[in-house]
Chains A and B, each alone.
Chain A
Amino acid sequence: MSSRNGINTEQWIDVEHKTVSPRVFADPELYRLEQDKIFAHCWLFVAHESQIPNPGDFITNTMGDESVIICRDLEGQIRGFVNSCRHRGMRICRTDQGNTKLLQCPYHSWTYSLQGKLLGHDKEEGGGVFGGLKREDWGLIPVPRIESYRGLIFACFDENAESLDDYLGDVKWYLDLLLNRTAGGMVPFPGTHKWTMNANWKFAAEQFSGDVYHVGAHESLFRMNLLTMSLFMKAKPDARNYHMKTEQGHSWLTIENTLPPGALSEEVGQFYARVKAEAATRLTAAQNELVDNTNVGFVFPNLGIVSLLGMVTFRLWQPRGLNRMDIWSWGFVDRDAPPAVMTASREVLDRTFSSAGLFEQDDLEMWEGCTQGAQGFYRKRFPLNYQTGWRHEDRDPQRPGRIDELLSDYGSFHFYQRWQELLRNGTTAGK
């Protein structure tokens, strides 16, 4: 079966044999198709509400490779616009964040309200400058859908998309392990880690979709006794160690912590004991099994989450071309954490999962190398293998999603199945 535009996705994702063609990382036409069919249709994380608390606050981000402004209008409603003037396309916001009453293009001074209406021109007197223009037709291009889940703002270019609530579906239960474990929820630290690599974004997405095998990339940390393999060797899923995936392509890995004593300072340890006690009153018994686990989450298509050692990152894999990806990462912390805990959490983030992080560096090397490996004209004829694992798949009334063991290519392949579905259908609604 071919997609409407003639690209035969079945040739690339072989569901029967669980293989993926290297061409999915090497075809420029496919990159454009992903933007149109996936990034223009899925709900994408764009900001946290606490980053734009006041009327007039704005922040810029990208949805796929489209630059957007996310702002809180003067009435307090959160809105999103394509960051490009309707006149000549100039970028309107050239700062990452700020506060403003109007959005004004620096080129010809086209001036918009925070509701996106074209108001006029700041040099204008008596309407002469805008002679002949129907202003009501030339407002900023809105991002039609903006919805939040526990402080996370998501935006969607597809007017007809399902609600964010339905889109997130079963992964909400897992997001709540972090976002609903305390009454205050979690908030991002100031500043964004941004780093770049010559890699296709899908290698990051598929890894977070459930690739525990990749711990070999972090061999240096095993040799330093910062990681222990036994952590990952549970063959069968149990209440505290499993992988789950959802129909919408989201997934979650949860792994019991085996922290050596003294890994956390006394104050940090005490705080997380308090968090655990509070979580017990807010979450289900099954969730409470996982609340102090190492948790790795993935919200399709490009939001990744890591929580371990008192550190939490929410990061976007920002596609910047076929072989170019930027990562934008925010450290999250419990809003009510005392200052020493906040600082400890940020330090762990900076040292492990940041632009210079001891974990992160090696992942980047792998994603670049895989991207390069997929480009070879002869290599492209041979598929990539996603066949390992596959021993269990189950439902559990206590635990949402389809449950599987940790060590499996199941999750990563699932990402491509969802990816293929969307390329074919181009919509998330009514799959």
Chain B
Amino acid sequence: MSTSDLRREFEDLLYHEAWLLDHDRLEEWLDLFADTIHYWAPVRSNKVRGKEDLHHHNLVAHFDDDKTALMMRVQRIRTGAAHADEPPSRVRHFISNVRVLEATSDQVQVTSNFIVFKSRRDRDETLFVGCREDRWRRSDGRWKLEERFIILDHDVIGNLTVLL
């Protein structure tokens, strides 16, 4: 398969994922993840050019989830009592700049940018902007996400009730 075919395949997959998130199909969204998923979004900071190290050991993170932690986020929403998202916010994911960086027959590195719009109550509107560095692995004919490294372009951030 050529890189551009592969890119098209992952664009479809990432758009599908965004659709699941925007339509409250969170259980199906979880099903895209491998059991070994590492879903991770370190905090950002204002440092001299070149000095910010997102891989610094034990740098605190907005998200640092394994599969169980992600399942708990979905379970929490399903209790009906997750007040921060009940009634639910209106959320829309825009995915772009999809690139396939490295590919073997069963493993692919894919990067993409996102803009996530969240509208809450009558007029509280928040944007979450950043990029994802994903590692997908093919297992039983299906792609499963093994690692998602999320780089948010925010220092101070809004209420992160959204999934990215």
Interface residues, chain A, with chain B CB atoms under 8 Å away: 94-98, 189-198, 217, 219-224, 326, 330-331, 342-343, 346-347, 349-351, 354-356, 358, 361-362, 364-366, 368
Contacts and interface: CB of A to CB of B under 8 A. Distances in A.
B119 interface: no
B81 A223 contact: yes
A358 B73 contact: yes
A197 B157 contact: no
A191 B48 contact: no
Given A196-B156, A198-B124, A356-B41, 5 more contacts: A96-B45, A96-B46, A192-B45, A193-B60, A195-B156
Contact of B83 (A189, A190, A195, A217): A217
Contacts of B1: none
Contacts of A331: 60
A361 B60 contact: no
B161 interface: yes
B45 A223 contact: no
B18 to A, nearest CB: 19
A191 B46 contact: no
A270 B105 CA distance: 44
13 contacts: A98-B51, A190-B58, A190-B59, A190-B60, A191-B56, A191-B59, A193-B62, A220-B79, A220-B81, A326-B156, A351-B65, A358-B72, A361-B159
Contacts of A330: 60
Contacts of B51: 98
B87 to A, nearest CB: 11
B62 A355 contact: yes
Contact of B160 (A342, A361, A368): A361
Given A191-B43, A192-B45, A194-B43, A220 B83 contact: yes
Nearest to B86: A220
Nearest to B76: A220
A343 B47 CA distance: 24
A405 B118 CA distance: 40
Contact of A192 (B43, B58, B158): B43
Interface residues of B, number: 39
B101 interface: no
A132 B83 CA distance: 62
B84 interface: yes
B82 A196 contact: no
Contacts of B62: 193, 350, 354-356
Contacts of A219: 79, 81, 83
B119 to A, nearest CB: 14
Most buried by A among B58, B65, B85, B158: B58
Nearest to A372: B121
B79 A98 contact: no
Contacts of B57: 190
The 9 A-B pairs with the shortest beta carbon distances in the complex, nearest first, are A356-B160, A361-B84, A219-B81, A223-B79, A191-B60, A365-B84, A220-B81, A220-B79, A220-B82
A155 to B, nearest CB: 20
A326 B156 CA distance: 8
A189 B65 contact: no
A98 B47 contact: yes
A174 to B, nearest CB: 24
A330 B62 CA distance: 12
B11 to A, nearest CB: 27
Nearest to B162: A356
A97 B41 CA distance: 21
Contacts of B60: 189-193, 330-331, 346, 349-350, 354
Most buried by A among B51, B60, B62, B160: B60
Nearest to A345: B58
Contacts of A190: 56-60
Given A361-B84, A364-B159, A356 B56 contact: no
Contact of B79 (A97, A194, A224, A349): A224
A348 B128 CA distance: 23
Contacts of A361: 82, 84-85, 159-161
Contact of A195 (B47, B85, B157): B157
Given A197-B159, A351-B69, A362 B82 contact: yes
Given A346-B64, A355-B62, A194 B84 contact: no
